[in-house]
Structure 1
């Protein structure tokens, strides 16, 4: 832990695979706000304010713009977000990181202060996952121990696809968040 009480080791994982059914293209390449920035560029920049290194998990062959992050491929097709989370956690673990903040590429309203709240809770408790809760579990805006990559592998091998299977299997702590913070997670 650092002097601020935060884990000394916090990677960022941005899940960028998948297409938007209403736009017919990769969510990561959606233009946001200024019309010149893609969703993946924006979310990576927000995550990088609190996390280093940052990993972007994509599908095989998926293109993304040049990023200040390492792009890793999720080669397991058809296993949803659980497999992608596992790939990101493995990359963070291989980089020597103990924790990773994991979020979706469509968390365009993400506030870095939410990461601070979750990291502070992760530092205070010995949980495997710390996720925000506002009546809904926000799996894709949570702090995960990177060693959970092996648990994810077991779940995927058993046919699981949803992150809820991982949440149910390990020690998960929920942090009640304010309405303002909840708004920043509206797509997470």
Structure 2
């Protein structure tokens, strides 16, 4: 994916400041096929949106290594629900992008096609795109106008801190599964909408981590090779090569071109 393929005028925000009480260990640092959950999610956003990618964390929270371009902001009131982190992230990117995809750090199967499908619905007259998937609203796999940050701060001051319930004065659209899957790219890449499957408990993490890595294609001088790899480095290693950005995330159907340059 090149910079020209990224969604224009869009930023990415990842919430990493949760207490992870049900997991028992910080989810951001959980291993994911040689990387970490947080590195994977920020990398996926970085390859999908043209604007900045920001992680909202608790003050002083130690994070795993991140791609160099990722920014970090502190949620001034950690542990009080996601609304604070969403508002902090929107504050950080508001002058640089009019819209943002906001997600939690625990969506290891998030696909760029899902991010694109959500942001495509964040057009004029819409403040928030909050999909209704697998029977639940998805405020942490959603699109937000960055201008709504001021309203979120007002809600927080009034003690209304549940984004799935309290955004009543905003223009919120709630596409369901059938509507989202009218996007042909998403229907092909993620027909089960596993993009929104999060890992709150150890058994949920183990279930998804035990799945095979994504099947991708590596183009070599001797022809295409299909391998299973969740990162650029793992895909390159499978054919005896080395690449820059080895922790760059891969998703099913990706093509990594390692053919020798003709120049």
TM-score after normalising by structure 1? 0.87
What secondary structure sits across from 2:94 in the alignment? helix
Q: Aligned equivalents of 2:79 and 2:195: distance in 1?
A: 29
Q: Tell which deviates more after alignment, 172-181 or 143-152.
A: 172-181
2:248 paired residue number: none
28 and 145 in structure 1: CA distance in 2 versus 1, 3 angstrom threshold: same
Q: Relative to total residues, which structure has the larger helix share, 1 or 2?
A: 1
Q: How many residues end up aligned between the 2 structures?
A: 180
How far apart are the structure 1 equivalents of 2:10 and 2:78? 27
Q: 2:59 is paired with a residue of what secondary structure? A: coil
Q: Please, what is the CA RMSD of the aligned residues?
A: 2.1
What is the TM-score normalised by the length of structure 2? Answer: 0.63
Task: State how far apart, in whole Å, the 1-side matches of 2:7 and 2:129 are.
Answer: 13
Deviation at 1:169, TM superposition (A): 2.5
- The answer to whether the 8 Å contact 2:118/2:143 transfers is yes
* Greater relative contact order structure (CA < 8 Å, 6+ sep): 1
Q: Distance in 1 between matches of 2:170 and 2:42?
A: 27
Pairs within 5 Å for 1:1-188:
8-32=8-32, 34=33, 36-51=34-49, 52-68=51-67, 69-94=70-95, 96-123=96-123, 125-134=124-133, 135-177=135-177, 178=181, 180-187=191-198
Which blocks of at least 5 consecutive residues in structure 1 are unaligned? none
Q: Distance in 2 between matches of 1:30 and 1:80?
A: 21
Query: Partners of 1:107 and 1:91 in 2: how far apart?
Result: 22
